[in-house]
Structure 1
């Protein structure tokens, strides 16, 4: 059986037992822990204690980052830490529980793919519009490269496959390609670089490829650049935030409810 990519409270299968056994080799189990296949509240507390001890974001969820630290025995400086969330919360003047909830719901979890490159999502419809604006022969290009130059949303790939596609798009128009890409764990669009006060699009990309903390900083800059977003977070109004941030898709995705649920969890747990 393939190990699930994410384990959290409520999961019940053999991979949970394997996780507990691995945790037992790396940290002290709680007194009430039972080595079984149930990811219960005690397991969640154990995971949080381990995440705290190694400097990871403390969410009680075992995703790629927690699993990689368990396997390697150390946390990479490129990975997001609890102190990064504290700094972001202070910068936005919002409760830490709000920032932790946003990180759980909004972020992709892992801000990097192989070879130390940021997680990306190339948006072919945005590339189409930017090429058209820049005076390219858009009809010819859309016939030659339908997977790159296309007015329709979609055709997203994963990992290094998306990077391969981005490099192909860069051969047509480097800046338009980079600006048509969502970067990092928080998927900040490249075309925002100037509004977010980066010196150049190259500086923006360099920082997105450097660390998840810098990817979070881009998200913080985005929220600050849109005062209604920041005000909604300060007022703990997740419906307004989700509507402004996601647009009409927020209701279908129930993003406001997901953020609210995570906020309640982190308000109770101040670890």
Structure 2
């Protein structure tokens, strides 16, 4: 994690009354501490074809429905193909930035349109961190879990109830374990 992200997280965390070590753990585990792709400068994304299929009234097949990996060089062509077919549905069906917040949460974060949410996140890391804090602040259960450092509940709310099954499937450490370890590192 860069010093810039650490310092910005401390600043934004104080605005929302969150423990910066919890926020840093959250950021590290969700995206490895990257809001922008170092090779392209573009915002980090994860395009979700299943969501696009739900959000777009009709979308002919294309690159968008072949996306099955979380590699930025593959995400962007899939997203761009979906964007050509339905701009708003594509943006709503993609998680962005440090927090990997799905675009369909734009209203929850206080934006009038999904495009405004994207534009805000593309401006800076500080805005992406602010979006994470706002997302947490607008969910009383997630906010309480963050305050309690209840890693299991945080992971369940943020990544869905099947997060443990996904970890087993891909032979990854479950989010709750990773967050606890990251918190221990940043709280020192």
Structure showing greater relative contact order (alpha-carbon pairs closer than 8 Å, 6 or more residues apart): 2
**Is residue 116 of structure 1 aligned with residue 54 of structure 2?**
no
> Given the two structures, how large is their TM-score scaled by the length of structure 1?
0.60
Which 4+ residue blocks in structure 1 deviate beyond 6 angstroms?
A: none
Q: 1: distance between equivalents of 2:94 and 2:82?
A: 10
What is the 5 A alignment of 1:131-210?
131-132=56-57, 136=58, 141=60, 144-145=61-62, 147-149=63-65, 155-210=68-123
Write the deviation string for residues 110-169 of structure 1: whole angstroms up to 9, x where unpaired: 21124432011111110101113xxx3x5xx2xx32x4248xxx6135224322221211
Total equivalences in the alignment:
180
1:239 alignment counterpart: 152
Q: Say if 1:117 and 1:199 are closer, same or farther in 2 by CA, change over 3 A.
A: same
> Given the two structures, how large is their TM-score scaled by the length of structure 2?
0.84
* C-alpha contact 1:93 1:234 (8 A) present in aligned 2: no
User: For 2:125, which of 199, 203, 212 is the aligned residue?
Assistant: 212
Unaligned runs of 5+ in 1: 1-50, 58-79
Task: Name the Cα RMSD after superposition.
Answer: 2.2
Q: 1: distance between equivalents of 2:81 and 2:47?
A: 11
Query: Shift of residue 174 of structure 1?
Result: 0.9
Structure number with larger C-alpha Rg: 1
Query: Shift of residue 88 of structure 1?
Result: 2.8
